Structure formats: structure tokens, C-alpha cells
């Protein structure tokens, strides 16, 4: 995939090790330049609007630092009964989140944005996956929280974790979206974005 973009520098505006690993699966070489966009104080936004807006803000904020680059921004939220679950701030909040998700289905939304410099063309898309947890025992929830793994993850879990993997009973939709980045949709968006940009330059 890297060959699609020639010598174009690619920047990932995210510190997430999961997103970095997923992008490397596509053979992309990129630099990581985290955005300092505030992810809080977005009350009233729908989940789709929230991840769309934050991914765009993150990408645009980092893109402003470069004269020639493709910048990728992303944001993921977990939604249960219409309530957005972000990253738990305390272990007790992580326990509460996982207890609420137990034996229930929830939705995972990821928005991603690609911004080109210097043209400032951009594209933003959102992927949604439905995830169902099996019934969780309190002790396994506490053990997972003690591991520290839930603290940097929306909804307080990672489907790729040892524990997170066995919490999930089934999913409907893109698995990688639950990890934090919808690879297939991103790949197709990147191809379309580059092809459109090439045709405009010719």
C-alpha cells in the first residue's frame, strides 16, 4: 500500500499502540505525532458525530504542522444504551463499565480522517460494530482491572487483550474496528482518496 503514495510522508496523529500496529499490518511506514485535542467536553454530540468531529480535529491539528504529508486521525467510543463510555478515569469506573457491559450488547464507533497537505483535501468516515459480552464474574472483572489494561481503552476493555478476548461472546461487523481502527474501510478510503487526488492533479 505504501507504493500508492510514492514519497508522501504519512503521519499518524495518535499515540495508540493498537492503531500503530494495525497500520503496520498494511505495510505503511509512518511517523507518530500525537494530537493534543481535548477529547472531553463534547456533551450533546451523537456518537457518530463525536468520533467524526474528533478524528477531523486531531488530523487537522497535526496537519497544520506539515507542508507536505498525509495525516491520519482517529477516535473510538463505546456506546451502551445510548450512553458514550470513554476511557475510565479510575479503577472503580473501569469496574463499573465492565459490570454494565456484562451479558449485554453495545456499539463501537470509530471515526477516521485523512488530511492531505498542502492541498488540505480531507475525507472522514465512521465504522460501527455491534459487540456482545458474555456474563462476567466479579472476580474476573477485578482481575482484569488490576492488570491495568482497561485504563487506556474506551469502554474499559480491549478485544485484543487476554481477558478482553474471552469477555466478548460475539461481534457483528468489523473486528478491527473494535480494536480501534477499521482496516478494510480505511484501506478503501485511502485508495479512493489517492485516486481522486491524482485525477485532480492531471
Q: Give the model confidence (pLDDT) of 107-147 as tens digits.
A: 999 999 999 999 999 999 999 999 999 999 999 999 999 99
CA distances from 126 to 157, 163, 181, 202 (A): 20, 27, 10, 30
| Across 52-74, average pLDDT | 95
State how many domains the chain has: 1
| Partner residues linked to 122 by β-bridges | 115
Q: Which of 49, 75, 116, 152 is catalytic?
A: 75
Q: Within a 13 Å sphere around the CA of 104, how many CA atoms are in the beta-carbon half?
A: 13
Q: Are 28 and 83 in contact (CB under 8 A)?
A: no
- From 99, 114, 129, 131, select the one nearest 187 (Cα to Cα): 114
Q: What is the pLDDT of residue 5?
A: 57
Q: Does residue 77 register a pLDDT over 60?
A: yes
Residue 6, pLDDT score: 59
Element (H, E) at 55: helix 47-63
Kindly report the pTM of this predicted structure.
0.89
Residues 158-176: what's their mean pLDDT?
Answer: 91
Q: What is the pLDDT of residue 201?
A: 43
Q: Which of 19, 33, 38, 30 is nearest to 62 (CA)?
A: 33
User: How far apart are alpha carbons 103 and 185 in whole angstroms?
Assistant: 29
- List the CATH number of the domain containing 171: 3.90.950.10
**Is residue 38 annotated as part of the catalytic site, yes or no?**
no
pLDDT of residue 1 exceeding 60, the answer is no
Is the confidence at residue 197, as pLDDT, over 80? no
What 139-146 contacts at long range (C-beta under 8 Å, 24+ apart), as own/partner pairs, is 141/95, 141/98, 141/99, 141/102, 142/95, 144/98, 145/91, 145/94, 145/95, 145/98, 146/91
Residue range(s) defining the domain that contains residue 124? 2-201
Tell me the mean pLDDT in the region 150-157.
91
β-pair type (83-85, 69-80): antiparallel
Does residue 44 register a pLDDT over 70?
Answer: no
Amino acid at each position: 500500500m505504501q507504493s500508492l503514495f510514492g514519497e508522501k510522508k504519512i503521519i499518524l496523529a495518535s499515540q495508540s499502540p493498537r492503531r500503530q500496529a494495525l497500520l503496520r499490518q498494511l505495510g505503511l511506514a509512518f511517523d507518530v505525532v500525537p494530537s493534543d485535542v481535548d477529547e472531553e467536553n463534547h456533551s450533546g454530540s451523537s456518537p457518530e458525530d463525536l468520533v467524526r468531529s474528533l478524528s477531523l480535529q486531531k488530523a487537522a491539528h497535526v496537519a497544520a504542522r506539515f507542508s507536505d504529508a498525509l495525516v491520519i486521525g482517529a477516535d473510538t467510543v463505546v456506546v451502551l444504551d445510548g450512553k458514550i463510555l470513554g476511557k475510565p478515569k479510575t479503577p472503580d469506573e473501569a469496574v463499573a463499565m465492565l459490570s454494565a457491559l456484562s451479558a449485554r450488547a453495545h456499539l463501537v464507533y470509530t471515526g477516521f480522517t485523512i488530511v492531505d497537505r498542502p492541498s488540505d483535501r480531507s475525507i472522514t468516515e465512521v465504522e460501527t460494530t455491534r459487540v456482545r459480552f458474555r456474563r462476567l464474574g466479579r472476580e474476573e472483572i477485578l482481575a482484569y482491572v488490576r492488570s491495568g489494561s482497561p485504563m487506556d481503552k474506551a469502554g474499559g476493555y480491549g478485544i485484543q487483550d487476554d481477558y478482553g478476548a474471552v469477555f466478548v461472546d460475539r461481534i457483528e461487523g468489523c473486528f478491527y474496528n473494535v480494536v480501534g481502527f477499521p482496516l478494510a474501510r480505511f484501506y478503501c478510503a485511502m485508495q479512493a482518496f489517492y485516486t481522486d487526488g491524482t485525477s485532480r492533479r492531471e
